[in-house]
Amino acid sequence: MWKLRASRALAALAMLPAGLAHAQLVQDGVRLAMSLTLDSNPELSPTGAEAVWRFALTPDYQLTRVRGADTLNANAALNVERSSDPSLSAEREYPSLSLGWRHETPTGEFGLSAKYEKSPTRTSELLDTGNLAVDATRETAGASANWSIGLDERDSLSLAGAFRSVSYQGGDFTDYTELSGSATFAHEWDVRTQPYVEYAISRYTPDDGGPSSDSHTVEAGLKRAFSELLSGEAHAGRRWNGGQSGSGWQGGVALNYAGRRSNWSWSASRAASASGAGAFVESDQANMNWAYALSEKSSAGIDLLWRKNRSNDEPSDIRQFVAWASRELDRFWNLRLSYQYKEVGQPGSADASAHVLGLSLIYSHPDLPDL
């Protein structure tokens, strides 16, 4: 929704007469989400599962300013969570802040961004390690830059770099910093087809003084618009990891469909990413998402996920199923009901599963008066 409003602002700016091209457009909005969930097994324990109720209140403020070729985005949110049993699910107040700036040029664009956030490890580390026994905190701070330029009518070059610092309070996780960069060359074969090649490098440095690890990846890919509604992408290449992680192939395929009432996407991939489990963790993942507009004010959908982590210490197999339905009560209020089933399996122990029921009431005001 935020992206849609920003796109509308940019489109409106493009329609202004040349003499007004440097006029400033401002859009700011607020969002307040209130949710109540019942989790049958927050620790994902194979035996002795205990349920817990959680209430969360999340105020969110978004600001977009457009002036000439420059766009500034800022976001501030606070997640306040209370639990019926803090020994099973901790109570927390987690902030998140982000700031981004983008400058468009005649042949491309340049951007800078920074982000800070706190999150529970039961959310952030589930996919990487399957570890939910300890309800700890992950603190992430980072900055990134990207630059893209059109070399000619069909060829383009994109460069990106990022820094990320991750630390944990509680649990047996490894604090680390990550430096990464990438270069992508793309060619517009025709209006529907774009092949590309990419080189990426990442350096993982644990804060405990352990050895650093490097990852180098070379991939070739193809983006294809099969029609106005259906698009896809495929990419594959080789990864060379230093330190403990070894090397191997990686790649993925994805399909996206955007119809008048129905949207769906499907993807499958193999990749390696920095993790609190130590160094880079290789994983295989498949996702399927489907949403359907029941009416102008009601919609429903299903999300499926399967992920297999190949961590040397704690390999895990994760499966998730989510079904949801939402109803627009009026122009500002929205009601959402969801059900989630998640299951985690690790060698040497029985599979653990949980059922999560959720009810959310969301207030959203996209256009507050100018500051």
Q: Is the pLDDT of residue 47 over 90?
A: no
Q: Is the pLDDT of residue 311 over 60?
A: yes
- Out of 14-23, 94-103, 350-359, pick the least confident: 14-23
Which residue, chain included where needed, has tokens 């009810």?
Answer: 359
More confident residue, 49 or 367: 49
Phi, psi of 349 (to 5 degrees): -145, 160
Average pLDDT over residues 143-170: 95
Band of the pLDDT at 340, cuts 50, 70, 90? very high
Model pLDDT, residue 299: 97
Model pLDDT, residue 243: 54
Model pLDDT, residue 6: 38
More confident residue, 280 or 72: 72
Measured distance CA(369)–CA(68) in Å, rounded: 21
Band of the pLDDT at 350, cuts 50, 70, 90? confident
Model pLDDT, residue 69: 93
Band of the pLDDT at 211, cuts 50, 70, 90? confident
Measured distance CA(158)–CA(145) in Å, rounded: 11
Would you give the end-to-end CA distance of the chain in angstroms? 21
Q: Is the pLDDT of residue 1 over 50?
A: no
State pLDDT tens for residues 169-182: 988 888 999 999 99
More confident residue, 350 or 308: 308
Model pLDDT, residue 15: 39
Rg (the chain; Cα; Å): 22
State pLDDT tens for residues 9-44: 334 334 334 433 445 788 889 999 999 999 999 988
pTM for this prediction: 0.85
State pLDDT tens for residues 191-206: 999 999 999 999 999 9
Distance (Å) of CA 188 to CA 105, 154, 183, 204 = 19, 5, 17, 34
Q: Is the pLDDT of residue 98 over 80?
A: yes
Q: What sign for the dihedral angle of Cα 83, 89, 90, 92?
A: negative
The DSSP secondary structure of 121-138, one letter per residue, reads HHHHTHHHH---SS--EE
Model pLDDT, residue 209: 80
Could you give the maximum distance between any two Cα atoms of the chain, in Å? 70
Which residue, chain included where needed, has tokens 């025709």?
Answer: 190
- Out of 86-95, 109-118, 121-130, 326-335, pick the least confident: 121-130
Nearest residue to 161 (alpha-carbon basis) of 118, 220, 113: 113
Letter string b/e over residues 286-296, b meaning 16 or more CB atoms within 10 A of that residue's CB: ebebebeeeee
- Tell me the domains of the chain and their CATH numbers: 2-365 (2.40.160)
Average per-residue pLDDT for the chain: 88
Q: With contact defined as beta carbons under 8 Å apart, do 141 and 162 qualify? A: no
State pLDDT tens for residues 62-96: 999 999 999 999 999 999 999 999 988 999 999 99
Nearest residue to 202 (alpha-carbon basis) of 176, 179, 175: 179
Distance (Å) of CA 33 to CA 57, 80, 300, 360 = 6, 10, 19, 7
More confident residue, 348 or 353: 353
Measured distance CA(298)–CA(325) in Å, rounded: 7
Average pLDDT over residues 319-328: 97
Q: Is the pLDDT of residue 369 over 90?
A: no
